[in-house]
Amino acid sequence: MAPVPGSGLAKGLAVTLRTMTKKTVTEQYPDAQPELPPRTRGVIGLFEENCTVCMLCARECPDWCIYIDSHKETVPAATPGGRDRSRNVLDRFAIDFALCMYCGICIEVCPFDALFWSPEFEYAETDIRDLTHERDKLREWMWTVPAPPALDPGAEEPKELAAARKAADKLAAQQQPQEQETDGPGQEDRT
């Protein structure tokens, strides 16, 4: 059956009228904070302690918006007769958010988990030059990064934990015989 002529027009009118009676979807942002998903990619935070100045992020950045300055420090050998170690010390870590296109590649490539997505998004500036944010600001944002989601029950232990536990166990195993040697008589007393 052919549609009644003009029924399409009437349908269009009905749609707009129905929309008018419904609640609007506008987010009144400055008055009301938006409800963002916890993992929203708002800005990039830096966890300085993890950074080794490997420069991977700066090199992979497609629009070269990461600035890193560093110098080398020599750490004296831990054991006598050992070799002095050299270590990179971060002097400056800045991201120019006027250039950043929020691709997240820097976060992906960071091998030491020093960069994180933070849901913070209110960092507009009135001057474009002020959009280059330095390490202190990046660190501040670090504290807004939500904790990683909990593992599934029964999941394999995370590698960091496994490594740490292994080291701790090893240390404990080393200390146990020593303790036994020194405290041997006392133990016997107790038993």
Q: Where do the DSSP E strands lie in the chain?
A: 43-46, 66-75, 85-96, 115-118, 132-133
Ramachandran quadrant class, 154 (left: phi over 0; alpha: psi -120 to 50; beta: rest): left
- 62: number of Cβ within 10 Å: 11
Q: Kindly state the tokens that stand for 5.
A: 């002529």
For another protein, the closer of residues 24 and 191 by Cβ is 24
Smaller CB distance to another protein: residue 28 or 74?
28
In angstroms, rounded to a whole number, what is the distance separating the alpha carbons of residues 31 and 60? 38
Distance CA 31, CA 46 (A): 29
Provide, rounded to whole angstroms, the least separation between the CB of residue 23 and another protein.
8
Tokens (6 digits) for 27: 């987010």
Q: What are the structure tokens assigned to 56, written together? A: 């991977």
- Nearest to another protein of 17, 75 (CB atom): 17
Site pattern 28..67 for another protein (x: CB under 8 A): x---------------------------------------
Q: Residue holding tokens 């050299």?
A: 86
Q: Applying CB under 8 A, what is the total number of residues that bind another protein?
A: 13
Interface of this chain with another protein, residues 109 to 148, rule: CB under 8 A:
none
Q: Smallest distance from the beta carbon of 29 to another protein, in angstroms?
A: 11
Min dist CB 61 to another protein, Å, is 37
Q: What x-and-dash track marks residues 2-31 binding another protein by CB under 8 A?
A: -------x--xx-xxx-xx-x-xxx-x---
Binding site for another protein (CB under 8 A): 9, 12-13, 15-17, 19-20, 22, 24-26, 28
